[in-house]
Amino acid sequence: MVAGGASHRKMHTMIISSAPEGRWNSVAPSGAQREDAVACRPVACATGYRASALPGLLKPANATRCASNQTPAAIAKRTRAATVQGNITLSHASPETRRSSPLDTPPRGTYARATMKTILQMLLGAALAMLGCAQAAEPVGQADTTKWKLVWADEFDYTGLPDPKKWDYEEGFVRNNEPQYYTRGRLENARVENGTLILEARKEPFKNPRFKPGLTKQGKPQRESADYTAASLITQNRATWRYGRMELRAKLPQGEGTWPAFWTLGSNHSTGWPACGEIDIMEYWARKLHEMTSTVHWRKDGKHQQDSGKLNVPESLGEYHVYALEWNAERMDFFCDGNKYHTVPLAKLDEQGDNAFRKPHYILLNLALESRNKKLAATVFPQQFVVDYVRVYEAK
């Protein structure tokens, strides 16, 4: 985005709720809506990966709240966030949830038999679910926690606008003559739901609230309105880092003309771009389908320089992948799903005794649109950049 050892995994944890008479009800938390239970239909375990369960072991659709008054999806996301730091969460159901369970009302006169049957069903269901979790494919490429210590993260285990303590917004027509207007605090373009951050590009008429007739930007007249809206989140004035590991797990939009990115800029804007330094950890043009890119931008001898790496990913980039940068005083290494595909030595980036990559940077997470892509007009909107988490680590 031109600005002008041991793999760390989320632990597989069953979330269990207590029920009367010593019986246990399996809860199926998931980032997606719960599917109706049918024989051998996949359901989600606490990690968000899929397992199998028998019919009759899931809670009915109207029993979705627990004692903390959060949805199972939120509980699961909170559990996953806790396990990142080595904790395991056990969630107990509320009396309302317990009363709603069909297992709590055995037919009159068959209480003992029904109770024993229930216990056996639940034990078998729990065993199958845990087996499914154990066999499910885990995300690859996450941080090795024997080498890295988590220092900042957003697991998106809440609902509504992005956390204002962690994120600010870029606003307006920001760069590259892109057609989208970046909005601030607008749920249609940036929201957290079902344990994920959604950055959404929309095709809609939108008046520029900053428009003033006669004013220009970089010698060009201001635009009075936009045909597209989107969002760009930044940690500027919230958090910056020099060195460490920055990691994103996300699904990328596939519509022609979409341009999502996970990147950094040097905090010292007074030097201008590209002297402040830019690190594109993940940059994707949907027109290139399976190709993702990482690029470092800097100034050398007064001129813009860049060093890019490209990776062809056979699987769809519309599915979840883990993108990461490992940055130290010697070099920057870029990864996709644990595969290192690009390295940039920091010594190469020196500029007259200065180096923008030995100074703090902040994170940007945005969904832009290509201004020169003639196929953009035919793309079906809205388009979504779906983020599971953003994490920052420091070396141990």
Express each pLDDT in 87-109 by its tens digit: 333 333 333 433 344 444 445 55
Q: Please, what is the Cα angle at 95 between 92 and 99, to 5 degrees?
A: 115
Helices then strands, each counted (H, E), the chain = 3, 23
* Domain at 148-395: CATH architecture: Sandwich (2.60)
**96 labelled catalytic:** no
Give the pair of three-digit tokens for residue 18.
């207590």
Written as one string, the DSSP assignment of 256-317 is TTEEEEEEEEES-GGG-TTTT-EEEEEE--GGGTTEEEEEEEEEETTEEEEEEEEEE-SS-T
CATH 2.60.120.200 location in the chain: 148-395
Candidate list 155, 256, 283, 326, residue with the active-site label: 283
Give the pair of three-digit tokens for residue 185.
């605090």
Pairing verdict, β 190-193 and 361-369: unpaired
Check residue 36 and give its pLDDT. Answer: 36
Candidate list 178, 247, 256, 278, residue with the active-site label: 278
Of 69, 45, 47, residue with least CA distance to 57: 45
User: What's the predicted TM-score (pTM) here?
Assistant: 0.70
H-only helix segments in the chain: 72-84, 95-100, 111-135
Q: Is 115 helix (H, G, I), strand (E, B) or coil?
A: helix
SS3 content of the chain, % helix, strand, coil (to 5): 15, 35, 45
Give the pair of three-digit tokens for residue 339.
């595969």
For the chain, list residues with pLDDT below 70.
Answer: 1-118, 125-138, 216-220
Check residue 1 and give its pLDDT. Answer: 66
**193 labelled catalytic:** no
Check residue 207 and give its pLDDT. Answer: 93
Check residue 4 and give its pLDDT. Answer: 55
Indicate if the alpha-carbon torsion angle 161, 166, 171, 173 is positive or negative. Answer: negative
Check residue 48 and give its pLDDT. Answer: 36
Check residue 310 and give its pLDDT. Answer: 97
Q: Which long-range contacts (CB under 8 A, 24 or more apart) does 163-168 make?
A: 163/192, 165/238, 166/235, 166/238, 166/239, 167/233, 167/234, 167/235, 167/238, 168/233, 168/234, 168/235, 168/236, 168/237, 168/238
Instruction: Give the Cα separation of 15 and 97 in Å (integer).
Output: 14
Check residue 115 and give its pLDDT. Answer: 65
